[in-house]
Chain A
Amino acid sequence: MNPADNTGVFTEQADYEKGFGAYFAQKIAPLLGTLEADRLKFKQDFIVSAIFSGAAAALALAALWLIVPPGSMGSKDAEGRIKLSFFILFAATVLPTYFYHRYGEEAKGTLLPPMMSFFGGISFHPHMGINELTLRPFQIMPMHEIYHSEDYTNGTLDNLSLELGLIKLENRSKNSTYTVFRGIAVKFEVKKPFEGMTVLRHNQGMFGHALSSLFGNHGMERVQLEDPRFNASFEVSSTNQVEARYLLTTAFMERMMLLGALMHHWGDDPSTFNEQMALAAAFSNPCNVLASFYGRSLLLLIPYAGKFFEPGSLFTSATHLNEMRCVLYQIHLFRRIIEVLKLDQNIGM
């Protein structure tokens, strides 16, 4: 963390932060006083609830292991006590966790709308998600039973309409759920509509490809492209072989690989992230981004499990701007997506 960020004054360090210092002083700095007061209150609630929950859990565990007679839980007594112990420990974390996340939501709701406004016509809605029905037609969502989304953001960035959100896809197993995808879904509206659908998925190898051919590919055919580095990362399918090649020129294929390199370091602290080195290594790492061209939009699914649009932390002063700087960098990365893929021009050029 940069000590200079703990002054409540935003000093511009990167090109994409140009102009934010003055904007911060005018629109955001006045909000920090109230936010800091709230943070201290939530922190106090967190500590008090942690102490009381911890004490209650300790008493419950002591009672379970020292007072409840052995064999009370039947033949699987030890197993039952262990499970109950874990449940008690889990229950003890519920209230403190609530206060921890509550402050996070507060910081988001307070800081993100004015931060987004700095970039132009973008609106942020922390409790809304991107509508699953708008994503399904693109045919790149991994199969799932449960869909969660939040941090819905929409508007215009660099003259391009976009909407995005954090999504989490889960499946049910016998007694629990497991995550099949967690990351960011971002949909850009492009200049010209597509005639068919072209989809970029991860290369599943010969076996995976044979399976998808067997179970149907929604009328799409495999598209074999020329760049072996691109083919190592992506499996391309399309309803229109010519349009797929019109979109995926050799230049565009290279840009998708570069995008993968940028997204690989999505959550890195921007002060430590070296974009040039990441781009130089673009073709060494497989690209995890999924893409689909359909209708009038390009949908990207970017796997990501870290902090997304989190401008504040319960244990860091509201005047400490490191997290805000990370959020600025995340917003800037969406502009880099537009720039790297040249989405503001006709795609394929």
Chain B
Amino acid sequence: MTPLWILLGIAAVAYFWYASIVTRRNKVQEALSDIDVQLTKRHDLIPNILKIAERFMEHEKSLMTDITALRNQAQAAGGAKDASGVDAQLKLESQLQMRMGQFFALAENYPQLKSDGPMMQAQASYNEVEEHIAAARRFYNAAVEQLNNAIQVFPGSAFAGMAGISAYPFYQADEGSKAPVDADAYLRKTA
């Protein structure tokens, strides 16, 4: 009888271990869904912002075209649930965020645009969405940390292999965002 109880105990522990890994994977996917909700809001806002800015920023057409293209690519990559798809999506969204940052920095050179009511409102909404994206990103990173910790250490790695669960990438700032800002170069460019 004793060996039977031992076997049952091991099976129970193994089951709960497996279940906790699946639960953490689901948590990551929940966090990804939350990010997707916020990213959708961002994608919906960008065309409106560009439309308002078009009238004023005639010389920045190439930037706006880039942003539109990036936005479309990011939107198409949205909804990914596997690790590689998520990685590609996050990279595109980081690039889009960086380009929008450049856009708003350049918009400072157009006083009429800066004081335009609809533009101010759109920018406030965009900032709010960015804050929610930042919060959703922190949730995602926390969920990924817990999942990766569970599946990168034995015996979690064995159970993850059986369940077909792999590590997810963290949502990190891209290289462009990490580079220090050169104020002189910026001022020379806009002078």
Chain A residues closer than 8 Å to B66, beta-carbon distance: none
Least CB separation from B145: chain A residue: A224
- Is B119 an interface residue, CB under 8 A from the partner? no
Count B interface residues, CB 8 Å. Answer: 12
**Count of chain A residues with a beta carbon within 8 Å of a chain B beta carbon:** 12
Q: How far is the CB of B99 from chain A (nearest CB, A)?
A: 23
Q: Is the CB of B131 within 8 A of A242?
A: no
Chain A residues 293-349 with CB under 8 Å of chain B are 348-349
Bound complex: CA of A242 vs CA of B38, how far in Å?
10
Choose from A226, A242, A348 the contact partner of B136 (Cβ within 8 Å): A242
Kindly state whether residue A268 has any CB partner on chain B within 8 Å: no
Is A241 an interface residue when CB atoms closer than 8 A count as contact? yes
* Contact for A241 among B34, B131, B134, B146, CB less than 8 A: B34
CB neighbours (8 Å) of B132 from chain A are 242, 246
Check if B45 is an interface residue, CB within 8 A of chain A: no
Question: Max chain B CB contacts within 10 Å: which of A226, A242, A243?
Answer: A242
Q: Mark B19-36, 1 if CB is under 8 A from A, else 0.
A: 000000000000100100
Contacts A241-B34, A242-B34 given; does A224 touch B142 at CB 8 Å: yes
User: Once the chains bind, are B34 and A348 in contact (CB under 8 Å)?
Assistant: no
Which residues of B have CB within 8 Å of A348?
Answer: 131, 135
Contacts of B114 in A (CB 8 A): none
CB <8 Å contact, A243 and B135: yes
CA distance A243 to B142 in the complex (A): 14
Whether the Cβ atoms of B131 and A226 lie closer than 8 Å is no
The number of inter-chain residue pairs (CB within 8 angstroms) is 29
B43 at the interface (CB under 8 A from A): no
Which residues in B have their C-beta under 8 angstroms from that of A243?
135
Q: Is A245 an interface position by the 8 A CB rule? A: yes
Residues of B within 8 A of A225 (CB): 142
Name which of A243, A246, A349 has the most chain B CB atoms within 10 A of its CB: A246
Judging by beta carbons under 8 Å apart, are A246 and B31 in contact?
no
Interface flags for B130-142 (1: CB within 8 Å of A; 0: not) read 0110111011001
A55 to B144, CA, bound (A): 75
By the criterion CB–CB under 8 Å, are A242 and B135 in contact?
yes
Q: Which residues of A contact B34 (CB under 8 A)?
A: 241-242
Instruction: Annotate A213-227 by CB proximity to B: 1 below 8 A, 0 otherwise.
Output: 000000000001110
CB 8 Å contact bits of B102-138 with A (1 = contact, 0 = none)? 0000000000000000000000000000011011101
Closest approach, in angstroms, between the C-beta of B131 and any C-beta of chain A? 6
Q: Are B138 and A226 in contact (CB under 8 A)?
A: yes
Q: Can you list 10 A-B pairs with a CB-CB distance of less than 8 A?
A: A224-B142, A224-B146, A242-B132, A242-B135, A245-B139, A246-B132, A246-B135, A348-B131, A348-B135, A349-B131
Given contacts A245-B134, A348-B135, 8 further A-B contacts (CB under 8 A): A226-B138, A241-B34, A241-B139, A242-B132, A242-B136, A243-B135, A245-B136, A246-B134
Task: Report A's interface with B, CB cutoff 8 A.
Answer: 224-226, 241-246, 249, 348-349
Nearest first, the 9 A-B pairs at minimum CB distance are A246-B135, A245-B135, A245-B138, A241-B139, A242-B136, A242-B34, A242-B135, A224-B142, A242-B139
